[in-house]
C-alpha cells in the first residue's frame, strides 16, 4: 500500500501559515490539503448569530494560497465546519469567499458544497420518535428548546466527503463536521485503515499545535501507511516528539483512550507512539470500532437577549475591602430604580478581576484580593436599549456610591475609555448538545457539486 500524505496547513482556516512551511509541504507532494475551519470553543455567539469567528480577509488569504496550489497538482482541498460553526449562513459566507477567489485568480474548479443545518421540523420528528438523547451533562431535549433555537447543526462524519469526492469535487466546503473527518475522508475512500486515518485526523486538525514548540498557525504533514501513520512539522524550529503527539491526544477530550465520533469510536488502548526520527513520530495500533447505531451530534444556540458592558477599575483599599457588599447594594439600587418602570427582567453581573474574576464560574473558591481591581459591569436585557440603560445606571450608581467609611468622595471608579459603555449586541446560549440516532446519515447532509468559475457557480 502506497503511503498517503495529508497536509494540514493551519489549525483553523484563517489562522494562517508561513509560506516556507507550505512550500516545503507542497514539495513533498501531498495527496490532499485539508483544514478544519470551526470549533465551539469561541462560545455560542457565532452559531447563534450566523457569523464567523474567523476574519474574512484571513480566511481568503489562506484559501488563495491553498486552492491554486492544490489545483496545480490535481489534489483536492477539503474544508470542514465552514465559517466556524457550519450552519447555512456560515457555509454561504465561505462559498462566497471561494467564488471571489475563482474570479480574482481566474481559476476554474468543481466545488462541492455539503450542508449540515437541520430544520426544526426534522429535529421535532426525531424527538417524537425517541431518537434524541442528551450527552451528559446536557438535559433531556424538549420541544421548547427546538422552538427557541436560532439554528441547529449536526456533525457529519467522513461519508459525505467521500461522496462529494466521488461526485468529482476538487474543492469541498462543508458545514459542521467531526474535526478528523476532513483529513480522514480521502484515506478511508482509498481503503486505508479507518482507525489510523481518524487518529491521524485527530492530530492534524490542530496542525502544528501537536508539535513542540506548538503553533496554531503552522503546517503539519501526516503520512499514512497500511499499519502506521507518521506525523511531521514543516518548520525547522519545531519537532514532533512522542510526548508532544501523545499529549495532544489528550487535548480537549474527556477520555484519551475511547474517543466517540459519528459512526463509531476510536480506541487507543493498544496505540503506541515512537520517535521515528528527530522531528517525526510514528503511531501504530489505533482501532476504529463501528457503533451498532449511527448517531450524529447536534449543536444549537438560542438568543437570550442583548448585552452592554462597562469597563472600570478601582484602587482604593477601603472600596476594595468592601467590594462584595458594594456590588450587592448597587444591584439592589438598580433593581428598585426601574421596578415600577416596566424594566424588571434583566441580568446584571459584576466580574471583579483581581478577586477571583477569572474563576468566577466556581462560586465557592477562596477569593484572594489584589491591590487593584478591574470591574466589568455587564447587563443583559431583552433589547439593546434596556441593556444600555441598566449598564449605564449601574455604572453611574457605582461611580458615586457612598459606601461606608469612604474617604475618596470624588468618584469610586477609574474608566480607561470614553465612552465607558459598550453595546455588544445579541447574546446567545448553547441549548443543544445531543446525539441523534439515524439509519442513513447521508440523508441529513445534502451535497451539490457545481462548476466554480469567474465568481459564479453553474
Query: Which residue is listed with cell 459598550?
Result: 422
Taking the complex as a whole, the smallest distance from the CB of residue 9 to another protein amounts, in Å, to 23
Q: Which is nearer to another protein, 42 or 225 (CB)?
A: 42
Separation CA 86–CA 51 (nearest Å): 10
**Residues in contact with another protein by the rule CB under 8 A:** 40-45, 135-138, 242-243, 246-247, 249-257, 271-273, 304, 347, 349, 351, 357-365, 380, 427-430, 433
C-alpha cell at 93: 459566507
List the 456-457 sheet strands across, edge first: 272-277, 280-284, 229-233, 220-224, 4-8, 32-36, 77-80, 171-174, 108-114, 447-453, 456-457
DSSP string, 156-215: B-SHHHHHHHHTT-SEEEESSB-TTHHHHHHHHHTT--HHHHHHHHHHHTTGGGGSBS--
Q: Which is nearer to another protein, 19 or 358 (CB)?
A: 358
* 380 neighbors 345 (Cβ within 8 angstroms): no
Which residues, listed in sequence order, are joined to residue 153 by a DSSP beta bridge? 117, 299
Q: Which is nearer to another protein, 44 or 83 (CB)?
A: 44
Q: Which is nearer to another protein, 361 or 458 (CB)?
A: 361
Q: Which is nearer to another protein, 4 or 387 (CB)?
A: 387
Half-sphere exposure of 288 (CA within 13 A, CB side): 20
Taking the complex as a whole, the smallest distance from the CB of residue 378 to another protein amounts, in Å, to 9
C-alpha cell at 101: 477567489
168 conformational bin, left if phi > 0, alpha if psi -120 to 50, beta if neither: left
Q: Which is nearer to another protein, 377 or 449 (CB)?
A: 377
Number of residues in the chain: 458
Taking the complex as a whole, the smallest distance from the CB of residue 322 to another protein amounts, in Å, to 22
Amino acid at each position: 500500500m502506497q503511503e498517503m500524505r495529508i497536509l494540514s496547513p493551519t489549525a483553523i482556516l484563517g489562522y494562517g501559515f508561513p509560506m516556507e512551511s507550505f512550500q516545503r509541504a507542497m514539495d513533498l507532494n501531498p495527496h490532499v490539503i485539508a483544514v478544519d475551519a470551526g470549533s465551539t470553543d469561541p462560545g455560542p455567539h457565532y452559531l447563534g448569530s450566523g457569523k464567523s469567528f474567523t476574519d474574512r480577509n484571513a480566511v481568503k488569504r489562506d484559501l488563495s494560497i491553498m486552492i491554486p496550489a492544490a489545483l496545480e497538482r490535481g489534489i483536492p482541498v477539503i474544508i470542514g465546519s465552514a465559517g466556524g460553526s457550519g450552519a447555512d449562513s456560515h457555509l454561504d459566507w465561505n462559498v462566497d469567499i471561494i467564488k471571489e477567489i475563482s474570479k480574482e485568480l481566474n481559476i476554474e474548479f468543481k466545488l462541492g458544497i455539503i450542508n449540515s443545518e437541520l430544520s426544526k421540523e426534522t429535529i421535532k420528528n426525531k424527538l417524537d420518535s425517541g431518537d434524541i438523547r442528551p450527552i451528559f451533562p446536557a438535559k433531556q431535549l424538549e420541544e421548547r428548546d427546538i422552538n427557541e433555537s436560532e439554528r441547529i447543526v449536526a456533525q457529519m462524519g467522513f461519508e459525505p466527503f467521500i461522496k462529494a469526492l466521488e461526485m468529482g469535487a476538487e474543492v469541498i466546503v462543508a458545514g459542521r463536521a467531526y474535526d478528523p473527518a476532513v483529513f480522514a475522508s480521502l484515506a478511508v475512500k482509498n481503503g486505508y485503515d479507518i482507525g489510523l486515518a481518524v487518529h491521524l485526523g485527530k492530530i492534524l486538525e490542530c496542525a502544528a499545535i501537536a508539535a513542540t514548540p506548538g503553533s496554531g498557525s503552522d503546517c503539519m504533514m501526516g503520512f499514512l501507511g497500511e499499519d502506521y501513520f507518521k506525523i511531521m512539522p514543516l518548520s525547522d524550529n519545531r519537532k514532533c516528539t512522542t510526548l508532544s503527539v501523545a499529549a495532544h491526544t489528550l487535548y480537549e477530550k474527556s477520555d484519551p483512550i475511547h474517543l466517540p465520533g459519528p459512526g463509531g469510536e476510536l480506541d487507543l488502548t493498544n496505540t503506541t507512539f515512537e520517535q521515528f526520527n528527530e522531528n517525526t513520530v510514528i503511531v501504530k495500533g489505533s482501532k476504529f470500532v463501528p457503533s451498532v447505531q449511527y448517531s450524529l451530534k447536534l449543536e444549537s444556540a438560542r438568543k437570550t437577549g442583548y448585552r452592554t458592558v462597562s469597563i472600570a477599575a478601582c484602587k482604593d483599599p477601603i472600596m476594595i475591602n468592601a467590594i462584595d457588599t458594594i456590588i450587592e447594594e448597587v444591584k439592589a439600587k438598580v433593581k428598585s430604580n426601574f421596578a415600577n418602570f416596566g424594566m424588571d427582567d434583566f441580568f446584571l453581573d459584576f466580574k471583579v478581576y483581581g478577586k477571583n474574576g477569572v474563576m468566577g464560574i466556581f462560586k465557592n473558591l477562596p477569593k484572594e484580593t489584589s491591590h487593584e481591581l478591574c470591574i466589568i459591569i455587564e447587563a443583559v436585557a431583552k433589547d439593546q436599549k434596556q441593556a444600555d440603560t441598566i449598564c449605564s445606571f449601574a455604572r453611574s450608581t457605582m461611580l458615586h456610591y457612598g459606601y461606608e467609611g469612604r474617604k475618596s468622595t470624588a468618584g469610586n471608579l477609574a474608566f480607561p475609555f470614553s465612552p465607558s459603555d459598550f453595546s455588544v449586541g445579541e447574546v446567545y446560549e448553547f441549548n443543544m448538545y445531543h446525539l441523534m440516532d439515524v439509519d442513513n446519515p447521508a440523508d441529513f447532509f445534502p451535497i451539490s457539486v457545481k462548476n466554480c468559475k469567474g465568481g459564479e457557480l453553474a
